[in-house]
Structure 1
Amino acid sequence: MLETGTAPQSAPAREDSVPVQEDQPTAATTAGAAPEDGPSSRHARRFGLPVATTLVMGNIIGGGIFLLPASVAPYGTVSLVAFGVLTIGAIALALVFGRLARRDPRTGGPYVYAREAFGDFAGFLAAWAYWITTWVSNAALAVAAVGYLDVLLPLHGSKWAMLAAALVLQWLPALANLAGTRYVGAVQLVSTVLKFAPLLLVAVGGLFFFDPGNLGPFNASGGSALGAVSTSAAILLFSYLGVESAAVSAGEVRDPRRNVGRATVLGTLGAALVYLLGTLAVFGTVAHDKLVDSGAPFSDAVNAMFGGTWGGTAVACAALVSMVGALNGWTLLSAQTPYAAARDGLFPARFAEKRRGVPTFGVLVTVVLASLLTVYNYTAGTARVFEVLVLITTFTATVPYLLATAAQLYFLLSGRRDRVAPGRLVRDSALALASFGFSLWLVAGSGYAAVYQGVLFLFAGVLVYAWMSARKARAAAG
């Protein structure tokens, strides 16, 4: 049985040093947090490269891919150019996270890097913003999954039946997480394989039914091509959220200095390949005028390829599996960043409790908050408030990205904890700058309202930081 443990809490070693054992005491554990399971826990198992890669791919590709082709069809095939630009930015960000994980392979990802570079407050902002993103997004993902479930098991528009289904879809992945990392990895691997089979069927099989006449105009918006690229990119910008997944769970990855970077890049490349081929195949198999008004573009593509109407059921199954897999991975990530912050005394100590390789308290808090938000969404009688909250997460998700890429620039320019050759310095600095620009583009694409309200969410966290800092100061004073 493979060992499991937490990430090292002492000063990170250089890249060429021997990794530090991950069971050292921390401020959080000495302050009363429950210790983690020892290496003998049969329910905890570290992720190897294949599972870490599927974690990245599964979190990047949720259910949005099933609607993306129709969302960007009004702009024409110029949207494929926007996808290409975004893919380059996402891969640059993945490479930066890989370099950061080699330098500091601790659980927490962006939180760890921001705190090490800029101090406790920057680290707390990264952790707080990422935590908000995860549990609100989980609620949104579960609600969206109910729409696909309705195709398979008609709920007949019953509000209470849909609410119950959404809650079940949230709690099943949470139970898999509470059972231990061994089961998280198994669910993630199986769900990724199952959801990619139909996606690849369309992405690859659609190329054999490809008809250039279905593509429609290159720039269907009627404006400038550059404007069309920017506008369609605003819709596609958030397709790559999740590239940080392996870095956030670095403490649960076997040989993280080596595997986190590889999993991040391989997972991002795999997701990009499915996105690009799938969108291209749908563009080439569904007539443009039909695709613009399509509510299920992959279903229409399967029907066009093979005839019949079974495509809707097949795509609904794939979408449901895809979303459950994404919920499984995001539930783990939602607990990992607060766990790392709690071990440093910046989140309540109970978030540092770990059983079977999983921060159990963080998982429970996350699923309860997401469930309450889901209940509110269905009982309030309007989706507007819920949609506003989801838009806010598109901004809060970029805060850790900006801080992490800025931390990479700080490490490179200051020479701290990294012996960088001149050639590598130029290359890594260019990657970090490109990733920082990509993250800024994400912020711009989220819109003024989302940025404004997202900042309010961040400022609400300042009270939590003040409370935790005061407790930490009192403890240090004796």
Structure 2
Amino acid sequence: MDATEKRPFGFWMAAALVVGGMIGSGIFVLPAQLAPYGWTGAAAWLFCTAGALVIAVVLTRLAASMPRASGAVAICAEILGPLPGMLIGWAYWVGVWSANAIISLTAIRYLGQFWPPLTATPLASSIGAVVLIWLLTALNLRGAKAAGRFQVVTTALKLLPLIAVLLIIGGLAFSGGAQFRAAPHPAFEWDQLTAAVTLAFFALIGFEGASIAAERVRDPARNVVRATLAGLVLTALLYIVVCSGIIFALPEKTAADAAAPMAMFVATFWGNDAGLAVAAFAAIAAIGCLNGWILLQGELPLGMSRAGVLPRWAGITNRRDVPVGPLVVASTLASILVLSNASKSTGALLDFMLRLTTASTLWIYIGACIAALKAGIARPFAVLGLIFALWALWGSGIQAGSLSIALIAVAVPLYFLARRGESPRAVNNDEAEQIFG
């Protein structure tokens, strides 16, 4: 296998992984979720962007300090020890496959604009989401290169509906902005900010995508940093303008009740045909996002197995170097999660899963900030990042936060089982760096 096959991602593919992982379900559902918060929701985007940038600085500084490390958790394991590193990686893995439930359901909601029976009942939506998960799992089983090419294409296409919304918002602003003042919206309230931040931060999760798949990135010391910061800044600016513009250009209840808020927004100003076109591209965006996260759900256990912190079966790959076992297990868990909630409304499922996914993913940021503090790297940023991450974790609520901890605890016996089973073989430094490949 040549170097290009082993590390198929250059800067553009790595940036596409970052942007593609972020622009997916979040931007297309959060206008409805944040509409009831009014100006508090708008402020939440600013807090989330600032927090994500601080954490991104920590992650990139850590990466620069250990250029041979394959990812963020590999660095955490090197600094904090293999068990904390494994738990952080496992928590992130939980966040990845639980996010796939949200993303697949979002794609189905927008596809339902074209074929209503697809979303006629919660069960129909759930079945459609599961089928979509497995179609993209099959694509990823063909290899990281095929998945990466698909990611570049879908990332380019998913920007089109955002451009349409930006044009409408720009036109409204250029005409005097009367539309934004037509209906009152809830004023800013400090006591609602924490909950709004936790919801909004879900949309920013994914900015660490290039770090997670660093083992697949050429010249990772350079390209991971560039891809992370460029992708985060671009996406955050789009989110602030697009999401807030949709919310404030429409009555609060109209935005809050929309099943496909972005398509509804475009249809309001440009007509039904334009709305359907946006729904199509929104579905493509969610599908592209799902593809990127399915890629990561296989890469995480692969690196952890190679480090000896998960059983060896998790590190078995096919001839295309794809970890079949972890990929199939994660997609199975995501499918079970979707189907187990088929009796609930899609809105209720999305709200809980938004919080669970955010709570699970926050542990990698917490671990990175603690590692930076211990190693004396970017300490001011690490302190601020740690405070922000703990604040967002608190905002996820007791149920989602406790469930994320319980799911992490499941990994402890697997860790000791793997280490005992491989005790005759010491784990060297090169293998330790694979923990989060």
Q: Deviations over 1:73-101 (max 9, x none)?
A: 33323432221121111112122222222
Q: Give the direction of change, closer, same or farther, for the CA distance of 1:197–1:52 in structure 2 (3 Å limit).
A: same
Shift of 1:204: 3.5
Q: Give the direction of change, closer, same or farther, for the CA distance of 1:69–1:392 in structure 2 (3 Å limit).
A: closer
Could you state the TM-score of these two structures normalised by the residue count of structure 1?
0.80
Q: What's the counterpart of residue 13 of structure 1?
A: none
Q: Deviations over 1:115-161 (max 9, x none)?
A: 10111110111121111111222133223322222212232636775
In the alignment, structure 2 segments of 5+ residues that lack a partner are 428-437
Q: Deviations over 1:375-396 (max 9, x none)?
A: 4343x67877897566433211
> Partners in 2 of 1:385 and 1:227 — Cα distance?
24
Q: What's the counterpart of residue 139 of structure 2?
A: 176
Q: What's the counterpart of residue 429 of structure 1?
A: 379
- Asked if residue 401 in structure 1 is aligned to residue 351 in structure 2, the reply is no
In the alignment, structure 1 segments of 5+ residues that lack a partner are 1-37, 414-427
- Find 2:404's aligned residue among 440, 450, 454: 454
- Find 1:358's aligned residue among 300, 322, 330: 322
Higher helix share: 2
Q: What's the counterpart of residue 38 of structure 2?
A: 76
Shift of 1:289: 5.5
Alignment of 1:164-313 (within 5 A): 164-210=127-173, 212-216=177-181, 220-221=185-186, 225-283=189-247, 285-288=249-252, 290-306=254-270, 308-313=271-276
- Asked if residue 410 in structure 1 is aligned to residue 374 in structure 2, the reply is yes
What is the alpha-carbon root mean square deviation over aligned residues?
Answer: 2.8
Shift of 1:56: 0.6
CA contact (8 A) 2:311 2:418 kept: yes
> Partners in 1 of 2:339 and 2:265 — Cα distance?
35
Q: What's the counterpart of residue 434 of structure 2?
A: none
Could you state the TM-score of these two structures normalised by the residue count of structure 2?
0.87
> Partners in 1 of 2:184 and 2:213 — Cα distance?
41
> Partners in 1 of 2:155 and 2:381 — Cα distance?
29
Q: Give the direction of change, closer, same or farther, for the CA distance of 1:289–1:139 in structure 2 (3 Å limit).
A: closer
Q: Secondary structure at the match of 1:155?
A: helix
> Partners in 1 of 2:201 and 2:183 — Cα distance?
20
Q: What's the counterpart of residue 393 of structure 2?
A: 443
- Find 1:320's aligned residue among 261, 264, 283: 283
- Find 2:21's aligned residue among 52, 59, 72: 59
Shift of 1:362: 2.3
> Partners in 2 of 1:178 and 1:190 — Cα distance?
18
> Partners in 2 of 1:360 and 1:109 — Cα distance?
21
Q: Give the direction of change, closer, same or farther, for the CA distance of 1:213–1:283 in structure 2 (3 Å limit).
A: farther
- Asked if residue 145 in structure 1 is aligned to residue 107 in structure 2, the reply is yes
> Partners in 2 of 1:150 and 1:165 — Cα distance?
10
> Partners in 2 of 1:382 and 1:303 — Cα distance?
24
Q: Highest relative contact order (Cα 8 Å, sep 6+), 1 or 2?
A: 2
Q: What's the counterpart of residue 311 of structure 2?
A: 348
Q: Deviations over 1:14-62 (max 9, x none)?
A: xxxxxxxxxxxxxxxxxxxxxxxx327x865521111111101111122
CA contact (8 A) 1:286 1:300 kept: no
Q: Secondary structure at the match of 2:423?
A: helix
* Higher Rg: 1
Q: What's the counterpart of residue 115 of structure 1?
A: 77
> Partners in 2 of 1:76 and 1:363 — Cα distance?
39
> Partners in 2 of 1:47 and 1:64 — Cα distance?
24
Q: Secondary structure at the match of 2:410?
A: helix
Q: Deviations over 1:215-236 (max 9, x none)?
A: 35999446x6433544432331
- Asked if residue 96 in structure 1 is aligned to residue 58 in structure 2, the reply is yes
- Asked if residue 333 in structure 1 is aligned to residue 296 in structure 2, the reply is yes
Q: Deviations over 1:266-317 (max 9, x none)?
A: 11111112101212432454345633444433223213332x2224422321
Identical columns (%): 31
> One-letter code of the match for 1:298?
M
> One-letter code of the match for 2:226?
R
Q: Secondary structure at the match of 1:346?
A: coil
Q: Give the direction of change, closer, same or farther, for the CA distance of 1:300–1:368 in structure 2 (3 Å limit).
A: closer
> Partners in 1 of 2:254 and 2:425 — Cα distance?
65
> One-letter code of the match for 2:26?
G
Q: Deviations over 1:348-405 (max 9, x none)?
A: 1122234434333322222233233334343x67877897566433211111111112
Q: Give the direction of change, closer, same or farther, for the CA distance of 1:227–1:390 in structure 2 (3 Å limit).
A: closer
CA contact (8 A) 2:359 2:396 kept: yes
> Partners in 2 of 1:319 and 1:108 — Cα distance?
32
CA contact (8 A) 1:221 1:228 kept: no
Q: Secondary structure at the match of 1:179?
A: coil
Q: What's the counterpart of residue 3 of structure 1?
A: none
> Partners in 2 of 1:264 and 1:102 — Cα distance?
13
- Asked if residue 131 in structure 1 is aligned to residue 93 in structure 2, the reply is yes
Q: What's the counterpart of residue 32 of structure 1?
A: none
Q: Deviations over 1:255-275 (max 9, x none)?
A: 100000110001111111210
CA contact (8 A) 1:133 1:397 kept: yes
Q: Secondary structure at the match of 1:473?
A: coil
CA contact (8 A) 1:252 1:357 kept: no
> Partners in 1 of 2:223 and 2:385 — Cα distance?
21
CA contact (8 A) 1:179 1:356 kept: yes
